[in-house]
Amino acid sequence: MADHDLTPDSAPPWDEPAFDREAPPERDENTADIFGEAPAPAAAPVAARPLPEPEAEEAGAAYTVLARKYRPRTFEDLIGQEAMVRTLANAFQTGRIAHAFMLTGVRGVGKTTTARLLARALNYESDTVHGPSVDLSTEGRHCRAIIEGRHMDVLELDAASRTKVDEMRELLDGVRYAPVEARYKVYIIDEVHMLSTAAFNALLKTLEEPPPHAKFIFATTEIRKVPVTILSRTQRFDLRRIEPDVLARHFDRISQREGAKIDPDALALIARAAEGSARDGLSLLDQAIVQTERGQTVTAAVVRDMLGLADRSQTIALFEQVMSGKPGEALTTFRQLWGFGADPVVVMLDLLDHCHAASVAKALGPEALSMPKEQAARLTSVGAQTSAGTMARLWQMLLKAHDEVRRAPDAMAAAEMAIIRLCYAADLPGPEDALKVLRDGGNPGGPGGGVAVGGGAAPGGAVSAAPRAMAAVGAAPAAPVLASFDDVLKLIAEKRDIGLRLDVEQFVRPISFRPGAITFEAAPGAPGNLAGRLVRALKEWTGQPWLIAAEGGGGAESLMERQKREEREALAAIKSDPFVASVLSAFPGTEIVEIRKVLAPEPAPIEPDEAED
């Protein structure tokens, strides 16, 4: 059914056929409602009729998109808004009808449609019903004119085009006049948050003392931009996002009604991409139907390619490789996804989704995941082998990675760097686990060089390697043995790693040392990767496993701090010398800028003749 717009050339209401004459039907008897059921006679509810076979479009007729063709016609047709419908039904039944309604929610959940249905319900009148009613299964006297947008007492406005206060005053001038035909004069203002402050103030007075014959229905996607003075004078309804499984069933009925064959997995992808919006989902369904020839089945792969989504099984494999600390395999999988047209930002979102699913499965079991059993089992296995703290840290890293990929000039390069970072973090112990090993006096190394962390054992007795913030690496044949922290400093100097040497001398305040384990306090300004750099260097130079942890306090002086303290003490000792003090007193403003140690000259060799003398 095509919509009819009110234009200056349209016939005035008094030229319309009388209400007692036979009016044209609201829609063709073979046109389905939003749930896919055919409309029934006036005495029977719509849902009681079976689905008729769809008819082909007439040649040359303008195509009506699904979002308009299956727009709800009754309150029962609204999907996912049962709480609002129940509240309105009770209000109408008891006569406690508010004078102003505020409908809010994300795009496509049915705000404008609900406003039109509410206008019909307020002015509903039939041969047997003479009061407001939410039962719109039978078309009333005013329903046809309201649906077609030509009723004199129902004014539908777009606040985006009428933001000025003068336009609002002009509109409100007509509020004081009684309705011409219907019971109430209804004002529907869409996107009401677009009104200016002055326009809101002009509207406020009318909302404070509205005439009994006027009703206001506001709709907005930005409820926070509506002044609280307006909100406090309206009855607010928050239209909820529609759940993906509800949308998938709804789209399945419509696709059957349209004679299209779509796989359930493809419908699930469309419902997920709709993000709770029925209108957005119907637009995607419209696009999906034409992806194949008539009579062919639209598969999940076709829809995935249409939406630019990555293969879910492939992204789960990528997640598993990241959690296993395998950067080579993870990068190969990501590049395959990139080659198939997957968006790097979407891949990061999928990894976030998998991290959340693995955490939920760890707490509630695989039954809590709304996905195929095989995929749920894989994510449950990852969650079972990883600690809750590890999953929380991974979630934070993925959030940062998603933001980096979204902002980076080269999204693919940013995604690859993020994957490498995630894989590296998957091979490091968490701070609490590393410190626990140190405090318990355990060996941070051992066969294979792994560190046991409290994340649960993997199947077969293998200890899980969880994402961690410090470093522990595998054992290797012993090389130089470092017996003290000073030996570490000497080794760094011998290897001529200038950057590491400067950072260690300046920021490392040793707390404890034993072969294979160092605990230190980080001085202010220490780089965050200092522990990891030191571990990798010592592993390479000594061939032994090292566990290095930073604690909050209690460390001794760093080498640079010790040197500066010794210089201050030496300077103080020199200034206390009587001779130096007298010089400083005799020459005011004199400062000691440098202290040098002068080596005593070696005695000259004694000649033999001089020795005899």
Question: Measured between alpha carbons, how far is 170 from 566 in angstroms, rounded to an integer?
Answer: 84
Q: Which of 396, 390, 389, 383 is nearest to 354 (CA)?
A: 383
**Residue 325 within a domain:** no
Name the residue type at position 20: D
pLDDT of residue 612: 58
Q: Which amino acid makes up residue 21?
A: R
With CA atoms as reference, report the closest residue to 395 among 329, 348, 427, 347.
348
Per the structure, the complete domain to which residue 372 belongs is given by 333-426
Give yes or no: residues 527 and 393 share one domain: no
Sequence-ordered list of residues with C-beta below 8 angstroms from that of 293, at least 6 positions apart, any chain: none
* pLDDT on residue 352: 92
491 and 590 share a domain?
A: yes
The whole-number pLDDT of residue 338 equals 87
Question: Does 413 map to a domain?
Answer: yes
Q: In what order do the strands lie in the sheet with 100-104?
A: 154-158, 185-190, 214-220, 100-104, 235-238
Sheet strands (E) in 171-295? 185-190, 214-220, 235-238, 261-262
* 146's tokens: 């309201």
Q: How many domains does the chain have?
A: 4
CB atoms inside a 10 Å sphere around CB 608: 7
- Residue 347, domain CATH: 1.20.272.10
Q: One-letter amino acid identity for 473?
A: V
**Whether residue 597 sits in one domain with residue 556:** yes
* SS percent in the chain: helix, strand, coil, step 5: 50, 10, 45
- 125: in domain: yes
Out of 396, 426, 456, a domain closes at 426
Query: How much is the pLDDT for 599?
Result: 58
Among residues 149, 145, 6, 3, the alpha carbon closest in space to that of 62 is found at 3
pLDDT for 268: 87
- Write down the pTM of the prediction: 0.52
Name residue 526's amino acid. Answer: A
- Sequence-ordered list of residues with C-beta below 8 angstroms from that of 370, at least 6 positions apart, any chain: 244, 245
CA geometry: angle 64, 67, 72, nearest 5 deg:
110
Q: Are residues 410 and 548 in the same domain?
A: no
Last residue in a domain, options 399, 426, 453: 426
CA–CA distance, 263 with 269 (Å, rounded to integer): 10
List 435's β-bridge partners, or say none: none
Is residue 314 included in any domain, yes or no?
no
Position 7 in a domain:
no
Q: Are residue 248 and residue 199 in the same domain, yes or no?
A: no
375: tokens are 């995929």
Instruction: List residues bridging with 187 in a β-sheet.
Output: 155, 216
Residues 266 and 297 in one domain: yes
The distance from CA 259 to its chain's CA centroid, rounded to whole angstroms, is 36
Q: Are residues 403 and 502 in the same domain?
A: no
521 in the same domain as 405: no
CATH for 271: 1.10.8.60
pLDDT at 442: 53
Find the length of the chain.
613
Residue 78 near residue 282 (C-beta atoms within 8 A): no
Same domain, 189 and 291: no
Residue 216 contacts residue 187 (beta carbons within 8 Å): yes
Same domain, 21 and 166: yes
Instruction: Evaluate whether residue 5 is within a structural domain.
Output: no
Among residues 266, 289, 307, the one where a domain terminates is: 307
CA distances from 116 to 45, 72, 99, 100 (A): 20, 10, 15, 14
How far apart (Å, rounded) are the C-alpha atoms in residues 471 and 218?
58
> Residue 245 CB: number of other CB atoms within 10 A?
11
How many CA atoms lie within 13 Å of 475's alpha carbon, on the beta-carbon side?
A: 13
Report the alpha-carbon angle 518-522-527, nearest 5: 105
Which residue in 67, 104, 78, 100 sits closest to 239, CA to CA?
104
**C-alpha–C-alpha distance, residues 127 and 147, integer Å:** 19
Mean pLDDT, the chain cut into blocks of 10 residues (613 residues total):
42 42 44 42 38 43 83 86 86 88 88 90 89 86 88 87 80 86 91 88 87 92 90 90 87 88 88 85 89 85 77 85 88 88 87 91 83 81 83 89 91 92 74 60 42 35 36 48 84 85 86 83 83 85 82 77 82 81 77 68 58 54
Co-location of 158 and 18 in the same domain? yes
Does residue 315 belong to any structural domain of this protein? no
Is 4 within the bounds of a domain?
no
128 and 194 together in one domain: yes
